[in-house]
């Protein structure tokens, strides 16, 4: 399959009738799969109403069929066609954070989307992306668009069109290149269908920001465990992983350096993911500075690009520092924990 690539300048004021957008939308209407940029990562989009189209997402990614997909919309009018009801707390969050990196779980309207999208659940995950290219594409297609991240399943999510092409060229119909994404980690997923809202996946909107709108919310207890039927992408399988073993090293820099030295003495090539504050301290085969601990948004933005860069460095093992789990730090550590397969090494006190 030849993968078409369309370049779109996200700074264009009005994308209505924009030829590249309209052509990509025509592919979606023809039940083809098209990658497109959002403010978080690149998504792999298909007509959420079509079994044929959605099945192509799973085939291209190699994604397990029991892992549900997020449906992307461009207007609240579209939401009415997808959900059975909109709880008051969900409405408050929509008003505060849509468009934006927040996915809400609703009771679904039967027959609204392909059963493959929701993996047999009676709920549906929906978000409105805060990216002009994404919104224009969804609007031009007049479809709800099912879209996980546009990468090979289990690998680091893509933040550029080149990342998408590296994983999926020849496996999907097209890529809309709208430049690098912004937030760098996926959306926060929250379930407001029960009595207490529960964050199923930390992401671009922090727990603290959510609680400023609807008071108390809880973090799902199974975030680090496997779920039988996950309501949210990223809850069950190992995700975001480089090709070589990654370990989270929680301790002082001199102790982390001792781990590096031990592996290098064994003849292994070692990579390190660190904060700006300690990057110059490490002596390793590859050291990547993710950003400052005082600016975790910077760390989130560079996370997946760094994981991919380490993947290409032909290393044998990677160590990563850990980061504070406040604000977007919760999302950073969730992704790092999954990338490492929950493998932590902690310095003895």
The closest of 231, 234, 39 to 117, measured between CA atoms, is 231
pTM here is 0.93
141 is in an annotated binding site: no
Cross-strand bridge partners of residue 146: 46, 71
Report pLDDT digits (tens) over 190-207.
Answer: 999 999 999 999 999 999
40 is in an annotated binding site: yes
281 is in an annotated binding site: no
212 is in an annotated binding site: no
72 is in an annotated binding site: yes
What was the pLDDT predicted at 29?
Answer: 98
What was the pLDDT predicted at 238?
Answer: 57
Contacts of 77 (CB under 8 A, 6+ apart): none
The closest of 141, 101, 119 to 331, measured between CA atoms, is 101
Report pLDDT digits (tens) over 101-155.
Answer: 999 999 999 999 999 999 989 999 999 999 999 999 999 999 999 999 999 988 8
Strands (E) in the chain, as ranges, are 4-7, 34-37, 42-47, 70-72, 102-107, 123-127, 145-146, 174-177, 188-191, 198-201, 218-219, 246-250, 270-274, 286-289, 317-320, 344-346
What was the pLDDT predicted at 228?
Answer: 42
User: Residue 326 CA to chain centroid, in angstroms?
Assistant: 19
84 is in an annotated binding site: no
Report pLDDT digits (tens) over 150-184.
Answer: 999 888 999 999 999 999 999 999 999 999 999 99
240 is in an annotated binding site: yes
Domain architecture of the chain: domains with CATH: 4-219 (3.90.870.10), 246-346 (3.40.50.11030)
Report pLDDT digits (tens) over 4-56.
Answer: 999 999 888 888 889 999 999 999 999 999 999 999 999 999 999 999 999 99
């Amino acid at each position: 399959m030849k993968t078409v690539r369309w370049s779109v300048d996200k700074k264009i004021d009005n994308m209505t009738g924009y030829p590249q957008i309209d052509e990509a939308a025509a592919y979606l209407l023809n039940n083809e799969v098209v990658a497109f940029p959002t403010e978080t990562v690149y998504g792999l989009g298909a007509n959420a109403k079509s079994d044929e189209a959605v099945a192509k997402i799973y085939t291209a990614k190699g994604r397990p069929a029991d892992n549900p997909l997020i449906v992307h919309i461009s207007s609240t009018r579209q939401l009415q066609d997808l959900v059975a009801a909109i709880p008051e707390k969900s409405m408050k969050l929509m008003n505060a954070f849509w468009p934006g990196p927040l996915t809400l779980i609703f009771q679904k309207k039967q027959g609204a989307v392909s059963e493959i999208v929701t993996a047999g659940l009676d709920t549906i995950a929906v978000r409105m992306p805060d990216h002009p290219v994404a919104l224009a594409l969804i609007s031009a297609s007049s479809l709800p668009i099912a879209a996980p991240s546009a990468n090979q399943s289990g690998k680091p999510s893509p933040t550029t069109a080149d990342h998408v092409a590296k994983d999926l060229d020849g496996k999907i119909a097209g890529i809309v290149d709208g430049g690098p994404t912004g937030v760098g980690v996926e959306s926060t997923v929250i379930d407001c269908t029960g009595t207490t809202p529960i964050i199923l996946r930390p992401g671009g909107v922090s727990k603290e920001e959510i609680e400023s709108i609807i008071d108390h919310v809880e973090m799902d207890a199974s975030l680090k465990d496997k779920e039988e039927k996950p309501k949210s992408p990223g809850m069950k399988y190992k995700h975001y992983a480089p090709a070589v073993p990654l370990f989270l090293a929680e301790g002082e820099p001199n102790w982390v350096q001792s781990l590096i030295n031990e592996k290098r003495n064994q003849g292994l090539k070692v990579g390190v993911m660190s904060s700006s504050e300690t990057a110059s301290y490490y002596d390793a085969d590859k050291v990547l500075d993710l950003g400052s601990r005082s600016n975790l948004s910077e760390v989130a933005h560079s996370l997946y690009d760094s994981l991919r860069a380490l993947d290409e460095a032909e290393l044998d093992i990677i160590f990563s520092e850990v980061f504070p789990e406040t604000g977007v730090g919760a999302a950073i550590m969730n992704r790092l924990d999954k990338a490492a397969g929950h493998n932590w090494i902690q310095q003895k006190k």
